Structure 1
Amino acid sequence: MLKIKRRFYICIVVLSYCTALFGQSKQVTELAPGVKKITVGSIDKFTPYSFCDEKPQTAAMEKLKAGKLPFDINNIAVQITDRGVLVDVPLDADEQLYGFGLQIGSFNQRGLRKKPIVNDNPSNDLGYTHGPTTFYISNKGYGILINTTRYTTFYCGTTEKNLATNNIAKATGGGNSVEELYSNKNNAEGYVEADIPGAKGIEVFVFEGPDMISVMQRYNLFSGGGAMPAIWGLGVKYRVKADFKQDQVKNIANYFRNNHIPCDVLGLEPKWQTTAYSCSYVWNPAYFPAPKRLIDSMKLQGFKLNLWEHAFVNPASPLYTPLKKRSGDYLVWGGLVPDFADTSSANIFAAYHDKTFVKEGISGFKMDECDNSNISFGNATWSFPEHSRFPSGIDGEQMHQVFGLLYQKSIYNIYKHANIRTYLDVRASNAFASSYPAVLYSDTYDHDEYIRMVVNSGFSGMLWSPEVRESSTIADLMRRSQTAVLSAQTLYNSWYLKNPPWLQIKIDENNKNQLMDNSKQIEADVRKLLEFRMSLIPYLYDAFADYHYKGIPPFRALVVDYPNDKRTYNVSNEYMIGQSILAAPLTEKQNERKVYLPAGNWYNFNTGEKLAGDSTYTIATSFTELPIFIKEGTILPLAKPVEHVSADTKFEITCRVYGNEATGSLFEDDGVTFDYNKGGYNTISLNYKSRKGTANRKGKYKFNRYFIKSWQVIR
């Protein structure tokens, strides 16, 4: 076996020999500490990793504990046939599997057939989703990523091969009902199979643990480190009605400030453009006669502006001619489909946005419609077909899988090159997107599914926004608001509502300005929740710093932190926020719910009650409380609420201490540039011991954003 000394942890080390396998050579190489790659056959030109420009954070990866696979890596079998490629990965009988991107209809994937394909209306549990990845994680402490943009099917312990070694006795018995015959309740042992039709070779990335959280750290750090959004992005975003004019946008801005309701970002919907389906990317003078004046006036009030768009280019757009020969051979809504797989095409698209919008002060974009039309229905035909061809050579199937990924990359790079941070909205993504500050959203509106997507997002290096629109009841509005406050982005999307949804939950009455009799009380209740979100910003910002520097997802399933606790294996409606907060959202249907708390002691945030872990409790949370529990030993830094975050915002911090001894931390920088990459930041270590609290600041950042005002001990 050839060994090469790793210098600066960058060099690729050949770890294994080439061996004949189904007529193909198999090579195993180490790409970074704890990340190995199996290569067999002729690799496609376009793969998810081929589009990842961020370098692996190898120094941080080297600090992780060394992992060890529960099997020999050479036992991962790769077979190339006239159909394509089949990959077999060993699977233990008691192994649990998670991931495949931002899954909506399932959580624990063991025993399922998964086909992670981008789709605009995720449904059921097959795997269609806004954020598909061919990446799964085992509770045994490893992850497998099939590096392909082709439609791939995974059989997660569901198939059993006809082998000479089969145990004949195993097949005896069983029922005769139709339900029993088709349920396939017997999990097959031995392997996960990945079927990649059309491929002539494959790369299999193997991420070693030793535990689940280490796997996810390695994946995120290998992708360049987790996203570090602008600090204002962790506040509140509100999208106005699609047909609002410039004066109406000003009116809604005045409403927020006059009523002291926190809000950082106002989003403009389709009518800001002269044509939206397809897009012109030109301000509509009938609706926005002075856009620069609007941007500047919003800035004076502390608002950022975010523009809705999609990537299909209308013939009336200034981008049409430059992109005509750099787009696919099919149109969408009469517009071009830019070939984002071609760097020059992406640069043309980005350069126009930079000059026209970013340099004028637009803080971000909502990148819509970059997922495929609903492939589970025959009448859903709006997007480009799978047999499309693009000048770069990528085909329609592959382009669908990475279209949203490349779209957000194109927009994000504008801000990165300008040394300005942003926080984007996007409706599709894929693997190795961890470094992009883009939050996924969906037109589906099932609250239970929205909660599950918060939980699943951590398995894929993606962020999820369970946005709030209209609601069926006040309870529905408030429960959805609680979940939004406890997510990566607190977003109210009023694109078809004239007034905020808390003033009138019914669409028709809302748009007739017929507000609810108790609208001011509901407004006050929502304000209280949004103020808590603003209080939580320092804690969330520190969690995102851990995401960037250590690869720890800021939102993740309980099983990630407690992989040996069988009671967490199927908990899909609770999740960790940062290191110390456990969230257990409720829905409209629930006045109370059961909450499982893993080992250790926990505190009810609302009551201060101390609860023993490894137990299940029934909790009741009012509409203005938050269903969260704090781990013992935590210092939770809560800020005095502000109405918006600016470059010079100073946070007054109350340190809530849970237990007799506790620790915490804060990440401090300018919040709006990438200067942290040059060392322009501070870390503040919080400690409480012997009834005394201390805060120690270290770093090169000169401005003090956080001021510790008080300590509150909860025992």
Structure 2
Amino acid sequence: MKHPYKPLVALLLLSVLSFPSSAQQANPIKSVGKVNTVNISGQKVNLTTDQNAFIEVSVYSPSVVRVRMDKQKLGDDFSYAVVGKPKQTKANITQNNNEVVITTDSLVTRINKNPFAVAFLTKDGKVINKDEEGLTTSWIGEEVTTYKHMQEGERFIGLGEKTGGLDRRGSGYTNWNTDAYGYSTGQDPLYTTIPFYVGVHSGLNYGIFFDNTYQSDFNFGASNNRFSSFGAQGGEMDYYFIYHTKLSDIITSYTDITGRMDLPPLWSLGYQQNRYSYYPETEVFRIAQTLREKKIPADGITLDIHYMDAYKLFTWDKTRFPNPLQMNKKLEEMGFKTTVIVDPGIKVEPGYGAYERGKKDDIFLKYPDGEYYTGQVWPGWTHFPDFTSDAGRDWWKKEIKFFAETGVDGFWNDMNEIATWGQKMPNNVLFQYDGHLTTHKEGRNVYGLEMARASYEGSREHLPNQRPFLLSRAGYSGSQRYTAIWTGDNRSEDSHMLLGIRLLNSMGVSGIAFTGMDIGGFTGNPSIGLYARWIQLGAFTPYFRNHTGVNSKSSEPWAYGEEVTEIARNFISLRYKLLPYIYSNFYEAAQTGHPLMRTLAIDYTHDPKIYSGEFDTEYQFGEAFLIMPFESGKNYGKVYFPKGKWYNFYTGEVKQGNQEEIIGIQYNKLPVYVKESSIIPMQSLIQSTSEKPTDTLTVHVYNGDVANSFVYYEDDGKSYDYKKGEYFKRTINFDPRKKTITFDKVEGNYNSNFKNIKVMLHGFEGTTKVKVNNKSQNLTKDFASFLDPISRFDPQGSANPKEGYEVQRIVLKNDKDKFTISY
């Protein structure tokens, strides 16, 4: 018997098969498509696809290839981050029916035509990085994303100010500059956007810089096991692929593209005392005088928002600070520089000078109907200068004169994410974007960068031939050209202290060399032990600032008792003795982009141990020091010594590398080791950088099995005369094979601050004589002691004897000619 419904079922099935589904009618994901035209011109390849995508692949240098694409014709080549220009490069570009191949001395780029996809290979054919087949690049509405094949065992580091572990595999991140008060240790996003990361796998490493200022998202295998990806809510897909065999060279190439810092003023590398807030001026002088009386070296006092009249920018509270110029001159005489906070919001108040001048010059951010955008911050309802316009930056630069005339030396750019109460700035606010009118969606992430730029340029104009100090909370790639960055409103917790180390290391590998965190924590009150440990760590960070928030306990070093005062004094004093080493490392950062504070991934990239959560807060301070952070209250801890030999900084004991070890942790001493063959210049103790050290530079040389060199650098520490040749630079070489320590001939016209050089030899037991330029000289015994006596915290309160160990020394005249010590 025939089923009565069979004809109807057949008819319905036929109708379903005859008509496409809605998904087939309109795929919401637009792929880049198949290449249909190729135009090769010099170092560039321009392509179009059958999906109306427009693509440009260009050689930036032998090791850098740039990829731009959009679903419309490519717009102006404009970037706030990029200052480097393409280098003339020998590039061989060929094509056939299937692909275009670009070959340089360092890299092979293969562009597949059907569909468009890019792969980057070594010269011998190893895949460094390639698009994920089937996904490549696509659009969902205005959102554009590139998908990369995730290699076996691939790790990811970088992205600047991001929480989490050193290895970011398995995590995803968003770039959207955010006022993240008291953020958690896993919170994302934070204040600053640095869309640059490094991939590591199979003995290879590469960098990708995604230059797009819309909200961007990075996925390193979060919620998927197929790809890593990066994309943005609008704008072009525009990224730079960087390949070098050494990770440090990737940082150099990235900072070739985005720029490097100038040398900072020497005073900014000293200890800075801050809180929210020091006022009135009698309190400022009390803090300064107490630092001097207690022999705690310091160079800076920072003033938070209470110095202003009702939080109005470009004003001083005349009751609290009746004569700021006189105050700042007196602080200068005491060896202190003054840094003031500057927020971008200008109070809406008729008669208030900055408000009236801003209206007159028409420099505030606007809605599409021409009305100024108004948001609430500290002074109440405010307008915001448009720093993405020449007019806005020029106005701000003129206003900076107010501070220059009142003796201010440093500018702390805060609340520049943009932060407003409610934390929801409307997207229809317009930004000039230097002739590329856009909305808040594209302008937000560069607002902090451009505010820092305006502050820097204003400082340069009104403090002629004086290096300004700039600090910023928010930023974008390229911020290193203008400002230091600190990690914002952290918490007084052990987990935040260790998070801060990871944040600073991540920013260092991401091109930001001058960084810091609030020592002791901004929110809450640290325990005595936590404060003691944190200030020890602070001595080994680039920007060393003690800071705490309003309505918290005082957090100066003496606020935690005599023992902590002594610990703080010892480590801050050590910082000042190390200034020749630190300043020389900042010179390196200005030349190469290499950070002073460096994750072990820079020098030990392919050692899997350094990525372990047990060890990923260990870091190098310069190349010489290995710093091992620990939570407060621990008596023992596990550490990892990378390849090589490592000297205990305090005792001279040698540890062999490539091994884990349980070590004892002393309350009064941060675990610090020195790498074999290291060269560390030090000076006598001073109380501020306005004070001259003695005339002898002490150069510590640690014996080892590998050759090493160190570029020692000096200048006046305050002006730009070094750019005219007024510097003193000398390379010091240690060669264990030849058994020599060589001081090369001096470069530059600056006369050293030191007339003598004392060479301290560590690990050269049995050596009693050396030859200096073939003339025999005796070594004398000396005692290496880097810390003054410290009270060890225990129930009896017993004190340790003076700590150190015996070494050999020789004292020589600091002549500018080359000389060699043979041992």
> 1:708 offset after TM fit, Å?
4.5
Residue 368 of structure 2 is aligned to residue 318 of structure 1: no
> 1:234 offset after TM fit, Å?
0.8
CA deviations on 1:425-473 (whole Å, 9 max, x unpaired) are: 2111111223233132311222121121122121322243122247432
Residue 565 of structure 2 is aligned to residue 535 of structure 1: no
> 1:391 offset after TM fit, Å?
4.6
> 1:336 offset after TM fit, Å?
0.9
The 1-side partners of 2:85 and 2:269 are apart by: 26
Greater alpha carbon shift after TM alignment, 393-402 vs 16-25: 16-25
- 1:544 corresponds, among 575, 578, 586, to 586
Match of 1:514 in 2: none
Residue 380 of structure 2 is aligned to residue 346 of structure 1: no
**SS state at 1:129 partner:** coil
The 1-side partners of 2:732 and 2:407 are apart by: 36
Contact 1:40 1:78 in 2 (8 A): no
Contact 2:81 2:476 in 1 (8 A): no
The 2-side partners of 1:485 and 1:52 are apart by: 31
- 1:196 corresponds, among 232, 237, 244, to 232
CA deviations on 1:502-525 (whole Å, 9 max, x unpaired) are: 3334xxxxxxxxxxxxx2332222
Amino acid aligned to 1:235: G
Contact 1:466 1:483 in 2 (8 A): no
Residue 522 of structure 2 is aligned to residue 487 of structure 1: no
In structure 1, the gaps of 5 or more residues are 5-12, 159-183, 375-379, 506-518
- 1:695 corresponds, among 739, 743, 746, to 743
CA deviations on 1:68-87 (whole Å, 9 max, x unpaired) are: 64448884833345343121
The 1-side partners of 2:757 and 2:583 are apart by: 19
Contact 2:179 2:191 in 1 (8 A): yes
Distance 1:233 1:56, change over 3 A: farther
Match of 1:27 in 2: 56
Contact 1:591 1:621 in 2 (8 A): yes
> 1:89 offset after TM fit, Å?
2.5
**SS state at 1:357 partner:** helix
Q: 1:204-219 residue pairs with structure 2 within 5 A?
A: 204-219=239-254
The 1-side partners of 2:734 and 2:680 are apart by: 11
**SS state at 1:444 partner:** coil
> 1:687 offset after TM fit, Å?
3.8
**SS state at 1:428 partner:** coil
> 1:2 offset after TM fit, Å?
8.0
Match of 1:275 in 2: 310
CA deviations on 1:332-370 (whole Å, 9 max, x unpaired) are: 3211111111121111012111x2112443111111111
> 1:43 offset after TM fit, Å?
8.1
Question: How many residues matched?
Answer: 654
Contact 1:143 1:206 in 2 (8 A): yes
Greater alpha carbon shift after TM alignment, 643-652 vs 287-296: 643-652
Distance 1:395 1:556, change over 3 A: same
The 1-side partners of 2:691 and 2:50 are apart by: 58
Larger Cα Rg: Structure 1 or Structure 2?
Answer: 2
Amino acid aligned to 1:141: N
Contact 1:306 1:365 in 2 (8 A): yes
Q: 1:412-427 residue pairs with structure 2 within 5 A?
A: 412-417=456-461, 418-427=464-473
Match of 2:286 in 1: 251
CA deviations on 1:196-222 (whole Å, 9 max, x unpaired) are: 2333x3211212222322111111222
The 1-side partners of 2:621 and 2:602 are apart by: 12
Match of 2:218 in 1: 154
> 1:574 offset after TM fit, Å?
1.0
> 1:486 offset after TM fit, Å?
1.0
CA deviations on 1:385-416 (whole Å, 9 max, x unpaired) are: 33322355332233321121111111112234
Match of 1:296 in 2: 329
Distance 1:486 1:305, change over 3 A: same
Match of 2:430 in 1: 389
Contact 2:66 2:241 in 1 (8 A): yes
Match of 1:681 in 2: 727
Contact 1:239 1:495 in 2 (8 A): no
Match of 2:557 in 1: 502
Distance 1:538 1:703, change over 3 A: same
**SS state at 2:579 partner:** helix
Percent of pairs with identical residues: 21
In structure 2, the gaps of 5 or more residues are 1-37, 89-103, 109-119, 122-126, 367-372, 764-823
The 2-side partners of 1:284 and 1:267 are apart by: 16
Distance 1:335 1:33, change over 3 A: farther
Match of 2:500 in 1: 450
Match of 2:10 in 1: none
> 1:275 offset after TM fit, Å?
2.1
CA deviations on 1:248-285 (whole Å, 9 max, x unpaired) are: 21222121222221010111121211021xx3321111
Greater alpha carbon shift after TM alignment, 393-402 vs 530-539: 393-402
- 1:284 corresponds, among 308, 317, 324, to 317
Contact 1:240 1:249 in 2 (8 A): no
Contact 2:699 2:758 in 1 (8 A): yes
TM-score between both structures, scaled by the size of structure 1: 0.84
Contact 2:685 2:693 in 1 (8 A): no
Distance 1:488 1:666, change over 3 A: same
> 1:492 offset after TM fit, Å?
1.0
Amino acid aligned to 2:712: L
Distance 1:327 1:600, change over 3 A: same
Match of 1:477 in 2: 531
**SS state at 1:413 partner:** helix
Amino acid aligned to 1:196: A
Residue 753 of structure 2 is aligned to residue 705 of structure 1: yes
Residue 365 of structure 2 is aligned to residue 328 of structure 1: yes
More strand by share: 2
Amino acid aligned to 1:130: Y
CA deviations on 1:523-576 (whole Å, 9 max, x unpaired) are: 222111100111121111111111111221222211121112111234421112
CA deviations on 1:674-701 (whole Å, 9 max, x unpaired) are: 2333333221222456777553452223
Amino acid aligned to 2:450: L
Contact 1:280 1:313 in 2 (8 A): yes
Distance 1:252 1:95, change over 3 A: same
